[in-house]
Amino acid sequence: MLKKLTVALSERSYPIYIGQNILTNFQSFPLKSGERVLIATNDTIAPLYLNAVEKMLEENGVKVDTVVVPDGEKYKTIETWNTILTSLLAKNHTRNSVLIALGGGVIGDVVGFAAACYQRGIRFIQVPTTLLSQVDSSVGGKTAINHPLGKNMIGAFYQPQAVVIDINCLKTLPQRELSAGLAEVIKYGIIMDQDFFNWLEQHIEDLLALEPNAMSYCIAHCCELKAKIVAADETEQDLRAILNLGHTYGHAIEAELGYGNWLHGEAISVGMLMAAQSAKLLGHFKESNINRIKQLLIRAKLPVTKPEMMSTESYITHMLRDKKVLSGKLRLVLPFEIGQVQVIDDVNQEIVLQSIELCQ
Amino acid sequence: MLKKLTVALSERSYPIYIGQNILTNFQSFPLKSGERVLIATNDTIAPLYLNAVEKMLEENGVKVDTVVVPDGEKYKTIETWNTILTSLLAKNHTRNSVLIALGGGVIGDVVGFAAACYQRGIRFIQVPTTLLSQVDSSVGGKTAINHPLGKNMIGAFYQPQAVVIDINCLKTLPQRELSAGLAEVIKYGIIMDQDFFNWLEQHIEDLLALEPNAMSYCIAHCCELKAKIVAADETEQDLRAILNLGHTYGHAIEAELGYGNWLHGEAISVGMLMAAQSAKLLGHFKESNINRIKQLLIRAKLPVTKPEMMSTESYITHMLRDKKVLSGKLRLVLPFEIGQVQVIDDVNQEIVLQSIELCQ
């Protein structure tokens, strides 16, 4: 079982392969015997998959170097990025070498940005190992590192040569991270695909149980939806903004509690409900739809109430600092139906405060 | 007197303005009242031009922040790049802000790379203040910083919104740097324009004397020639390689003596003569043409013999390490006529050694 999708971009296209055990299937990698690669991964993923990938590539004549960096969002830094670049230089990699990003969203972002910058750009292959990175960050070409003064503030739009999604990797993923990935899956249904939302209502337990057919369909469909948006709007001028449903509220939670205490997907889960409440208060969204979303999030084992320790007022401070805020006005993506959202400029701060309080 | 050229690229075009005192002419800057900019410059250029540019922009309603970094190739580092990014973040610049690079090639490269990376890319304007950066590094979209393990190893292809070339800046340029810039000017004649080489033979003293009409014509013509090459080959796949005439030999000199002891243009001057000798030894280039090049370089006050302290053998070590070397084979750009070069793969190392010895 190997699905292949294509992300169509103005300048070039790249394939996404989805299947079981394809991490060790050379056919999934756009590489030739004799080529040189550097596999960059983290210290959680390395003991699980690095040897297998390395062995498979070497058996097919690829010359492999490896670099292992510490796991975690707090290492998504200039220093880690420089570690990868230094590793490429120390081993005399040329502009013909290929970087392989083996890991979750952090690895994809930092390794992708290293590929974008090494000798002004070398090829790279994404091998996302978490559900979140499989459905979200491996498609779209956004690469970045954090700066002490802001998350994802340094980066590039840079597309991979291929994305290799092995659903068997999810077997080693902690339950809480699986659920966090499902938050982004559910988001796709809300922003643009009512049929898919209906399908999720029927199959959410299959996904939690990692049933291969359901999971494979789900990931492929999310990638297709995201690819459709990215192809239409590669550099986030307009349409791509709808992917931020729940993110302005969610980032406030992440920023206040410190990144990593609540997983990104957990914050987005509550953030989407806050956005739904805002839409309802503005007269755009039905109470019954809020309940459908809430029930699905609960079944996916995601939080649906705001963090107890966080005051309602503290959200506003963080939300006004968001990269997506234009000159002090709160600009939010709000659902109008299940499967349809709109970007609303200048949302009243009173509406925002009420929405937050409705999620407790 | 204001010349305007256009660099035509597949995705977008940008203008190059050339004139006297245009540094303080708002018409040369693609900016509107109310916009925010960060001017990044170095501590040599800041006392000469920063206040004037800042005042002019503020008088036209632009909100200006500034950052001054140390002057010199040794500061073309991750740290300087991060200083510029930190300055943007500390002053809450959004993705709508504009970076202005005010200075020579180092400032252009490091500031351009900061613009390429800040929030995944913001607009930037190049204001090159040295002859070398005016005729070379401000056109072509190559941005980069150095790594302890290699020069220009981290960077991006990223195009400016506009290039503003004020030839009056050359009045404060040391004579030695003016001559170094002329080495790249002469290079354009050799690689692709015999008529321009003839013109240089008639006007080289005018250029050294900064005669405005000659200098303005010369810079515009070099930018046109480079723009033609860049437009045909934006990411250095093929044609753009001819711009490297003399650079493989020249980089060996710079690397052996330590960057900055010989200026880049000085090393290229001797490097071009070595390439000419190689071409002659291979039967492609006439002795009389070598002499024409040598005489012009001498009149431009450039070195034409190799550094005394450097052994012939040490060149080979450096040349084999060059980014442009493919799998250990020496690949050189060689002149076939004045105005015509070819890339020759696999040049015999004996030819290289002889060429070096002929330049003493």
pLDDT for residue B204? 98
Is A156 within 8 Å of B116 when comparing Cβ atoms?
yes
pLDDT for residue A163? 95
Give residue-wise pLDDT tens across range B230-282. 877 655 567 888 999 999 999 899 888 876 689 999 999 999 999 999 999 99
Tell me whether B235 touches chain A (CB under 8 Å).
yes
Tell me whether A61 touches chain B (CB under 8 Å).
no
Q: Which of residues 308-327 of B touch A (CB under 8 A)?
A: 323
Work out the minimum CA distance from B274 to partner chain A, whole angstroms: 26
pLDDT higher than threshold 90 for residue A68: yes
| Closest CB to A149 among B90, B121, B157 | B90
Q: Which of the following is catalytic: B184, B254, B256, B266?
A: B184
User: Does residue B264 carry a catalytic annotation?
Assistant: yes
The binding site of A comprises 71-76, 105-109, 129-130, 142, 151, 169-172, 184, 247, 264
In chain A, residues with a C-beta closer than 8 Å to the C-beta of B157 are 120-121
Give residue-wise pLDDT tens across range B104-113. 999 999 999 9
Tell me whether B78 touches chain A (CB under 8 Å).
yes
Tell me whether B121 touches chain A (CB under 8 Å).
yes
pLDDT band at A269 (very low <50, low <70, confident <90, very high): very high
Answer for the pair A169, A21: CB distance below 8 angstroms, yes or no: no
Q: How many A/B residue pairs have CB atoms within 8 Å?
A: 69
Answer for the pair A111, A142: CB distance below 8 angstroms, yes or no: no
With 0-12 CB in 10 A as exposed, 13-18 as middle and 19+ as buried, what is A204? buried
Give residue-wise pLDDT tens across range A28-48. 999 999 999 999 999 999 999
Answer for the pair B121, B79: CB distance below 8 angstroms, yes or no: no
Helical residues (DSSP H) of chain B, grouped into ranges: 51-59, 78-90, 105-117, 131-132, 175-192, 194-208, 212-232, 247-257, 264-281, 287-299, 312-320, 349-357
Q: Annotated binding residue at B75?
A: yes
User: Does residue B236 carry a catalytic annotation?
Assistant: yes
ipTM: 0.89
pLDDT for residue B353? 93
Give the chain B residue nearest A156 (alpha carbons).
B120
Give the chain A residue nearest B237 (alpha carbons).
A95
Tell me whether B112 touches chain A (CB under 8 Å).
no
Tell me whether A194 touches chain B (CB under 8 Å).
no
Give residue-wise pLDDT tens across range B34-51. 999 999 999 999 999 999
The binding site of A for Zn(2+) comprises 184, 247, 264
For A356, half-sphere exposure in the C-beta direction (CA atoms, 13 angstrom radius) is 21
Query: Average model confidence (pLDDT) for chain A?
Result: 92
| Closest CB to B142 among A90, A120, A156 | A120
| Closest CB to B147 among A85, A144, A147 | A85
Work out the minimum CA distance from A359 to partner chain B, whole angstroms: 31
Which tokens sit at A170? 């999810």
Give the β-pairing of A98-103 and A123-128.
parallel
In chain A, residues with a C-beta closer than 8 Å to the C-beta of B150 are 89
Q: What is the mean pLDDT of residues A120-131?
A: 97
Tell me whether A118 touches chain B (CB under 8 Å).
yes
For B18, half-sphere exposure in the C-beta direction (CA atoms, 13 angstrom radius) is 25
pLDDT band at A328 (very low <50, low <70, confident <90, very high): low
Ordered structural domains, chain A, with CATH: 2-172 (3.40.50.1970), 181-357 (1.20.1090.10)
SS3 per-residue string spanning A54-104: HHHHHHCCCEEEEEEECCCHHHCCHHHHHHHHHHHHHCCCCCCCEEEEEEC
User: Does residue B247 carry a catalytic annotation?
Assistant: yes
pLDDT higher than threshold 60 for residue B326: no
Q: Which of the following is catalytic: B91, B198, B236, B324?
A: B236
pLDDT for residue B1? 62
Query: Which one of B63, B97, B117, B142 would you mutate to disrupt binding with A, by most A Cβ within 10 Å of its Cβ?
Result: B117
Which tokens sit at A34? 């004799």
